[in-house]
Structure 1
Amino acid sequence: MNIHPTAIVSEKAKLEEEVEVGPYAVIADGVKIGRRTKIYSHAHILEQTTIGDDCQVHIGAVLGHLPQIRKGTASFGRLIIGQRNIFREYATVHRSSRDGEATIIGNDNYFMAFSHIAHDCRIGSYITICNGTLIAGHAEVCDNAFISGNVTVHQFCRIGKLSMVAGLSRVAKDVPPYMLVKGDSIVWAVNSVGLRRANFSVHSRSQIKAAFKLLYKSGLNVRQAVEELQKKFDSCEIKHLIDFILHSRRGICGYKSPAFWERIRLGAAAIRRRKIPAYQLFQGNQKRQKSGNLKCSER
């Protein structure tokens, strides 16, 4: 072990071989840290936290602190972290709000700077969570998901396997597996790039795209679409998608509104013609609706 003299390490903490602890890091009572894990300067590993082998906890990261809840509780649960996870600068992960339970993080995940994982979350493996993303309590992120920067995820939401959430999005419903979500809980398309990188076959990708069209473009409601999916597909990928939808408590993200994006397109065309500032986009659309057609002088 290589522990800097200024680090504060509890005698009740258990550190395995080849652990490195940087200057001014704090490791509290009951912490367990696996082999070859590196704790950088000013990081805090707090009570009831277990970290697996080959992890990295960078400058200022805080793992296992008290959950951010108003109710007063005498004791809280644990934080369990698997192997080969990377927590970059000032990332925060809170332990469970319930005695005897745990916030759980799998293996091979990457948490970028200022990302936050709240109490009682379930984070799978091979997940990337980018800078400034906030995941609220009891949320679940499934394997191979990619969540871009400054995304907010509501409590109890689920992010499906191999899905992608675009930057600055708000997730208030469950994100189905294999889908690309953008904006306010809106599904835009299949996460084709992610599927190719995961070495999905051409046949599997085509089935997922067909399922997407049936689910979002057929005009059927969710129950009817699921029934059709069960009739037409028997691949394990589609079965996983169906199972995810059937077990959704918050409902799944909807599809983008064609009418809304048609207004955006028309507004952009008006900007090009009239050279008006972008902030007047919607004001221009409202004027068009009231007056009918634009005057010749305005075209």
Structure 2
Amino acid sequence: MSEPTQIHPAAVVEAGAQLGTGVRVGPFCYVGADVILGDGVELSSHVSVTGATTIGSGTRVLAQSALGGPPQDSKHQGGRTTLTIGSNCRIHEAVTMHAGSDTGRGATNVGDNGFFLAYSHVAHDCIVGDNVTLTNGATLGGHCEVGDNVIIGGLTAVHQFVRIGRRAFVGGCSAVVGDVIPYGMAVGNRAKLRGFNVVGLKRSGMTRSDLLTLREAYRVIFSSTGTVADNAELARIKFADTPAVQEILDFLTSRGKRHFVVPPLGEHDASSDDDRG
């Protein structure tokens, strides 16, 4: 038998809000009229959920978080835009996520099983995949795209419109102004590519043989003997039977001319990645 929905007497839930079964709304929370809370959602206390925001089942939101507010975009004209958060996310203290802008996608989308630590921020029009972790104070600018299973370290800022490929790792206190390839590890201000997210790849089941192939492809793609675009075409032929390499190449070539995070000058192999895990 499902648990009943519980709304604390000190909470405000506007008429029109849709609450699933087993929802718990704690003291001093505010839930706007256009909000949808899935089954089992918990708002602990002092949580504000506004705008056209949908939160998936089983997601837990802790104190002082503000979800669904208008975009921090001077071009936004006040039109109806949305924020959609997936199921089974953990959203810690003072996290902010904004709705899309009416001059952009009009929607901010966050996937399932996300882990958003205190003071992290998801800006307007972002697309965030499943199983993503934003550590304390990590910030996504507007229109960012973050793939599945990405980890972004504490106090890291990701510039607007940047893409981060799936299973990438971005170290803490980094400033990311270009796209990060899938499986990559980026660190620094400005961030540089430091090889692959070896620990994450091993945890995902990638074999040592596959990892060695990725490293070989990395050396080809970022070789100083040619441009990344030219090297990518060589790698596409040489590693035609390696799906992970093809995924990286598709990421590099699928969106026209873009700025990418690349290795430091003079470093064109993946030997600097952390292989201790």
TM-score under structure 1 length normalisation: 0.83
SS of alignment partner, residue 74 of structure 1: coil
Q: Secondary structure at the match of 1:119?
A: coil
> CA contact under 8 A between 1:66 and 1:76: conserved in structure 2?
no
Deviates more, 1:100-109 or 1:119-128: 100-109
SS in 2 for 1:255: coil
Q: Percent identity?
A: 33
Runs in 1 of length 4+ with deviation above 3 angstroms? none
Map 1:131-280 onto structure 2 (within 5 A): 131-183=136-188, 184-233=190-239, 234-248=241-255, 249-258=257-266
Deviations 1:32-59 (A, max 9, x none): 0011111010000101000110001110
The CA distance in 2 between the partners of 1:34 and 1:240, in whole Å, is: 34
Say whether 1:4 aligns with 2:3: no
- CA 1:71–1:224: 2 relative to 1, 3 Å: closer
Q: Contact 2:8–2:25 at 8 Å: present in 1 too?
A: yes
Q: Secondary structure at the match of 2:221?
A: helix
Runs of 5+ consecutive residues of structure 1 not aligned to the other structure: 260-299
Contact 2:155/2:174 (CA < 8 Å) preserved in 1? yes
- Code of the aligned partner of 2:194: W
The 1-side partners of 2:76 and 2:132 are apart by: 33
Cα distance change on mapping 1:72 and 1:172 into 2, 3 Å? closer
Higher helix share: 1
AA of the residue aligned to 1:81: I
Structure 1 residue corresponding to 2:58, chosen from 54, 58, 66 = 54
Shift of 1:251: 2.2
Deviation at 1:118, TM superposition (A): 0.4
Corresponding residue number in structure 2 for 1:94: 98
SS in 2 for 1:23: coil
Task: Give unpaired runs (5+ residues) of structure 2.
Answer: 268-277
Q: TM-score, normalised by structure 2?
A: 0.90
Q: Which of 1 and 2 has higher RCO (CA within 8 Å, sep 6+)?
A: 2
- 1:199 positional shift: 1.0
What do the CA deviations read for 1:68-122 (whole angstroms, capped 9, x no partner)? 1123513131001111111100000000002783100111110110001100000
The residue number in structure 2 matching 1:66 is 70
Question: Which structure has the larger Rg over C-alpha atoms?
Answer: 1
CA contact (8 A) 1:128 1:147 kept: yes
Given the superposition, is the C-alpha separation of residues 230 and 258 from structure 1 closer, same or farther in structure 2, using an over 3 Å criterion?
closer
Q: 1:124-146, CA deviations, whole angstroms, 9 ceiling, x for partnerless residues?
A: 00111101111100000000111
Contact 2:76-2:101 within 8 A present in 1 as well: no
Superposition map of 1:26-45 within 5 A: 26-45=30-49
Shift, 1:257, TM fit: 2.6
CA distance in 1, matches of 2:259, 2:17: 42
Aligned length: 259
Maintained 8 Å contact 1:120/1:137: yes
Equivalence map 1:12-23=2 (5 Å): 12-23=16-27
Please name the residue that 2:109 is paired with. Answer: 104
Match 1:120 to one of 125, 139, 156:
125
Structure 1 window deviating more from structure 2 (212-221 vs 105-114): it is 212-221
Paired amino acid for 1:245 = L
CA contact (8 A) 2:121 2:139 kept: yes
- Superimposed CA distance per residue, residues 231-278 of structure 1 (whole angstroms, 9 cap, x where no aligned partner): 11122111111100002443211111349xxxxxxxxxxxxxxxxxxx
